[in-house]
Structure 1
Amino acid sequence: MPVSAKQLNFCDVSNDFDKFYNQNQNDLLSLLDKFISISDFIPFSFYRKYYSNFGSKRDFSLESMLNAFIVKNILSIPSVDLLITILSISSELRQFCGFLKVPHKSQFSRFKSIFLDNLNDLFNVLVDFTEDISKEISPFLSSILITDTTGVEAYVTENNLKFYQSQLRKSKSHAKFFSKTNPNSVFDVEKYAQGQMPKFASSNPDAKLTYLNGHFGYFLKCIVSTNALGLVRNVNFYDSDNNLDQDLRPQDVKDSFDSKSLIPSLETFFQLHPNFKFKYFLGDSGFDADDNYAYLHKKNIMPIINLNPRNSKDLPQPGFNEIGIPLCPRDPSLPMNYDGITREKGRSDRIKYLCPKVQKLTIKGRCQYILSCEDPCTPSKCGRIKQITIHHNYRFNTAMPRDSLKWKKLYRLRTICERSISQLKNFIQIKTSKVRNTVSLKSDILFACISQLISFILIFKAGKSENPLAIKSLIA
């Protein structure tokens, strides 16, 4: 029987790729060349910083470097090495970027590490420019602010699955020894292994141990805000201290990060864009905190936030007497005991009350609680604790009932932010990225946001605003 399949050689593959790439590239480059001039958005401070670093005898213009990174993201080119290879074989791409010769890899790397703050300024200029366009496309969707937390997985040894498996094996060995010396005690192997993991990566202290996306890892944490069109409005790198407590569940640690990160992020955002107005705020249950509701109420933004069941424990709720002191849930005749003010970074001060049947003692320099209740309302050894914030009723006294149809329809739009974050990570090919430096990694994220907004402007000017984030259609 004759062989029907034709054997391919390298020349055939190379010619087919060149034909496919140039055909799609020319369409994209022609659209970019026709509708987009990156110089219209570059702040003067960016020019001044760039020219002060490289002088008048520079090899590459600022516009050419920015165009190269934007095209890299739109085409989802995974690495700078591959970008350099494509620039070397494509005269059309070099001409579009404005390169007479192809930059070295180190020149791309230095650009990201030197001009992080200037890239942030460029991003904010594009946010201002695209806000008017988004209002023209859909005034309703542009009036909705959606926020979500995410993490960019760093390229460090600790993120290798083998690293956690090695800690797990050590934990199992320790469990065998522990069971012999403490036969009646329960040893949690996974929690012990997680507790033994370092709090940050050895090669990058900014990559901190975090529970994100359903697993522990070393991430650069950030909080991203979009409107309901999916356009990125704000990216804030929330570099908080790592206070991962072994006694907390991973979900509790994530909730703590989410609830504390919202107000600093939004406050920075509104300082940069004081004229921006939003009618609704959409967020997942991680943002269900009293302080967040009070802040949004102050900004005249209606919160659409799902209640976090971990913030609403199934315990009998204490009442209050005539002067506002909480009462024992089991015996309303017993007022709870005042225990001072709880002050915590990133949260409002709270008044702390203790169970009336608990005694707080200092034994050998350590604070201990002795509970003398025969029918406790909580399994906690220190008894029931009630902490009251000034605006603690905002969580339940929402302007729009959570069981209403309008609330449910609005809350479904929250996934738009998640899809937008996924698109940004696809731009920089985060799963295959091998960027170790924190500054370069932040620059990659900002370049992804800049590329999304440039693509949005391009789609709008090309008359395809019914799908404002259909970026793949540009290269299809």
Structure 2
Amino acid sequence: MPTRARRAVPPATPKRPGGVKHSAKSKDKEGTEFFFGYKMHMVADAKYGLPLAFRVTPGNRSDSPELPEVMKKAYGDYVWFKPSVATADRGYDAATNFTYLYGKNVDPIIHIRKPTSRDDLYDGVYDKDSLPHCLGNVPMEFVGTSGKGEYIYHCKEGGCHLKKSMKGGILHCDTVYSEDPAASPELMRILGPITRRNSPEWNDLYAKRWSVERLFKTLKESRRLEAHCVRGLAHITLHMMMSTLAFQASALAEVKKGNHGGMRWAVPKVA
């Protein structure tokens, strides 16, 4: 969750942690203004929209290495923290993150970046829907899961021009393909090691992530995370810690009143 400080950094200090924005009102020759920026990486409960653990990093640092770190913090802070599913956007797309979560018996529901290959396929085999293409370069159809946990695919009826046979007067393709989704970190990433990527079950799980987005929106609007007035990682971390503690305290007050469903909206907006 990138946030931006009010005070701009002079263009003469381009190596400060933060980011770059282009502005028509900038006074430097290149029209570039440097500013301090920060990212907040958070573990939150998707059911109740509650913040559990977070880390603050400079705005110019990659997101993906922070997933194991913030998860370790949540595991260390709460003995009861034993999630079965973790959702994240494609900023956390990395094979190492899938391996880490799978090793914790957590189903990694993470959006992945678009393929960069010329044929627009992942690993030269799988399309954007994580379906393998047969030798005729036609998307195959998911059939089911074997007893060993392998995903089984076959060519669609009347599919490619290879290995065709006549069965009952209907043209079929004989190509059958199976793959163990946990055989390698890259296959975990492309296929999904527990819940098959882009299946209805996968989409339902990923949709729960939006409760976390609502939490971010509430924190930004109600606790001045959108336009903070401090600078430096230590000060920003303290600011965010107090913000999340205030949110948790407000949610606890709602629980004590018996309003479990109102926890997510418990924090009033700060003027």
TM-score (normalised: structure 2): 0.63
One-letter code of the match for 1:164?
S
Deviations 1:54-106 (A, max 9, x none): xxxxxxxxxxxxxxxxxxxxxxxxxxxxxxxxxxxxxxxxxxxxxxxxxxxxx
Q: Secondary structure at the match of 1:278?
A: coil
Structure 2 CA distance for partners of 1:318 and 1:163, relative to 1, 3 Å: closer
8 Å contact from structure 2 (residues 222, 269) kept in 1: no
Q: Displacement, 1:432?
A: 4.8
Per the alignment, do residues 313 and 425 of structure 1 end up closer, same or farther by CA in structure 2, a change over 3 Å counting? farther
Change (3 A) 1:410 1:447: same
Question: Which of 217, 221, 229 is 1:426 aligned to?
Answer: 221
Where in structure 1 are there 5+ consecutive unaligned residues?
1-149, 172-192, 202-217, 244-256, 320-388
Within 5 Å, give how 1:249-398 maps onto structure 2.
257-310=62-115, 314-315=119-120, 391-398=185-192
Aligned residue in 1 for 2:210: 415
Distance 2:255 2:118 in 1: 48
Q: Work out whether 1:164 is the aligned partner of 2:23.
A: yes
Higher fraction of strand:
2
Bigger CA radius of gyration: 1
Cα distance in structure 2, aligned partners of 1:474 and 1:163: 31
Gaps of 5+ in 2: 11-19, 126-182
Q: Which residue of 1 aligns with 2:43?
A: 225
Percent identity at matched positions? Answer: 21
Question: What is the aligned partner in structure 2 of residue 155 from structure 1?
Answer: 6
The 5-angstrom pairing of residues 111-122 of structure 1 reads none
In structure 1, what is the Cα distance between the partners aligned to 2:22 and 2:228?
19
Counterparts of 1:221 and 1:474 in 2: how far apart (Å)? 22
Give, as a single letter, the amino acid of the residue that structure 1 aligns with 2:206: Y
Residue 392 to residue 462, structure 1, CA distance change in 2 (3 Å):
same
Whose RCO is larger (CA < 8 A, sep 6+)? 1
SS state at 2:83 partner: coil
Structure 1 contact 455–469 (Cα < 8 Å) conserved: no
Counterpart AA for 1:470: W
Deviation at 1:163, TM superposition (A): 7.5
What's the CA shift for 1:453? 0.7
CA shift in 2, pair 1:413/1:313, >3 Å:
farther
Paired residue for 1:455, among 218, 242, 250? 250
For 1:435, the equivalent position in structure 2 comes to 230
Aligned to 1:61: none
Instruction: Give the Cα separation in 1 of the matches to 2:29 and 2:269.
Output: 51
Looking at structure 2, the residues matched to 414 and 263 of structure 1 have their Cα atoms a distance apart, in angstroms, of 18
Match of 2:53 in 1: 234
